[in-house]
Amino acid sequence: MSDNSKNGDPSPNVLAMLEQEAKIINIKRVILALAIAVALIASYLQSELNFLVLLQRGDNMVEYVKSYFLPDFSDWGYYFSETVITISMGLWGTLMAAIVSVPLSILASNNMCPIWIVQPTRRILDAMRAINEIVFALIFVVAVGLGPFAGVLALFVHTTGVLGKLFSEAVESIEPGPVDGIRATGASHIQEVIYGVIPQVMPLWTSFTLYRFESNVRSASVLGIVGAGGIGVSLYQSFGAFQYQKVCAILIVLVAATAIIDLLSAKIRNWLV
C-alpha cells in the first residue's frame, strides 16, 4: 500500500481517472449537448410528430392494408420481366458509378490531394448526392426519351455522389505506412494509389458498392413513375387504377428480388473479402 493511501490521499490511479473524467465533461461538450437537445426539440416541433394520432387512426390504416389482399399474380410473367429490367437498371447504374467514383474519391481525399482539388471535388459530389434520383430521371427522360436508359443515367449520377463520398472516407482512414513505403521507392503518385491505397480500401469499397446495388434496385422500382422504365411503371399504373391486389403482387415480387440480391451480395462479399 502506498504512503498516499495510508494518509487517506487518493492514489495516482484514482487521480488519473478523475483527471480523465474532467476531460470528458467540459464546457464545450456541455454546450454541444445543449445545442443537440435544442435541435432535436425544434425538429420535433417542425415535423409535427403526433404518435397519438397514429394510434387513433390505426384502424383506417388496417382497413387500407386489407384491400391489398389477396395479391393478384395474374400478370406474373410481365411483373417478372419488368423486375429483371429494374435489376438491370440498378446493376448498370451502380457499376458505372463505382468506376467513376474511384478517381473522384482519390481527388476528394485530404490525404491524397491538396485542398484546392479536394474541396471542389467534394462540392460536386455533394450536388450529385443532394438531388434525388427522380429529379435526375426527369432531366434524362427529356434528354434521351422514355425508358430504362434514363433511369440508368439517373441512378449513375446520384450513386456517384454517394459512393464518391464513402470511397473517399475509406481512403482517408488508411494506414499511411504502406503508402510511405511505396513512395520511398520513387514510385509515382498513381503507383502509390494502385499499390498502397486500393489494397487497403478494396474490402470497404466492395461492401459499399454491393449495398448501393441493392439500394439502387429499390430506387429503380420507383423511377418508372416518371417514365424511366422498370417495374415502377406497372406499380404506378396499378396505384392509379386502385388495383391494390396487383400492387401487392408487385411489392411481393420486389421483396423477393431484394432478398435474393441480398443473399447473393453476401456470398460475393465473402468471396471477394
**Residue 96's domain is classified under what CATH number?**
1.10.3720.10
Same-domain check for residues 41 and 81: no
Residue 9 clears pLDDT 70, i.e. is over it? no
Q: CA end-to-end span of the chain, whole Å?
A: 52
Residue 13 clears pLDDT 70, i.e. is over it? no
Q: Which three cell numbers, joined as nine digits, stand for 19?
A: 483527471
Cα 142 from Cα 226, distance rounded (Å): 11
Q: The domain containing residue 19 runs over which residues?
A: 3-49
Instruction: Work out the pLDDT band at 1, boundaries 50, 70, 90.
Output: very low
Residue 100 clears pLDDT 80, i.e. is over it? yes
Closest C-alpha to 104, from 179, 168, 176: 168
| Length of the chain measured in residues | 273
In a domain, 55, yes or no: no
Cα 171 from Cα 106, distance rounded (Å): 7
Cα 86 from Cα 67, distance rounded (Å): 26
- Between 126 and 182, where is the model more confident? 126
Amino acid code (one letter) for 7: N
Same-domain check for residues 225 and 131: yes
Closest C-alpha to 160, from 107, 212, 88, 98: 98
CB 130 within 8 A of CB 157: no
Cα 105 from Cα 172, distance rounded (Å): 10
Peptide bond into 70 cis (omega under 30): yes
What count of other Cβ atoms lies within 10 Å of the Cβ of residue 169?
15
In a domain, 58, yes or no: no
CB 163 within 8 A of CB 146: no
CB 193 within 8 A of CB 133: no
Same-domain check for residues 23 and 120: no
Same-domain check for residues 14 and 145: no
In a domain, 71, yes or no: no
Domain total for the chain? 2
In a domain, 57, yes or no: no
Same-domain check for residues 33 and 123: no
Residue that the C-alpha cell 434496385 belongs to = 217
Residue 6 clears pLDDT 60, i.e. is over it? no
Same-domain check for residues 153 and 38: no
Mean per-residue pLDDT for 55-73? Answer: 82
User: pLDDT tens digits, residue range 132-149?
Assistant: 899 999 999 998 888 899
Cα 212 from Cα 163, distance rounded (Å): 8
- In DSSP notation, 178-224 reads HHHHHHHTT--HHHHIIIIIHHHHHHHHHHHHHHHHHHHHHHHHHHG
Same-domain check for residues 42 and 111: no
User: pLDDT tens digits, residue range 189-227?
Assistant: 888 888 888 888 888 898 899 889 988 988 888 888 888
Same-domain check for residues 148 and 231: yes
243 three-state secondary structure: coil
pTM of the model: 0.80
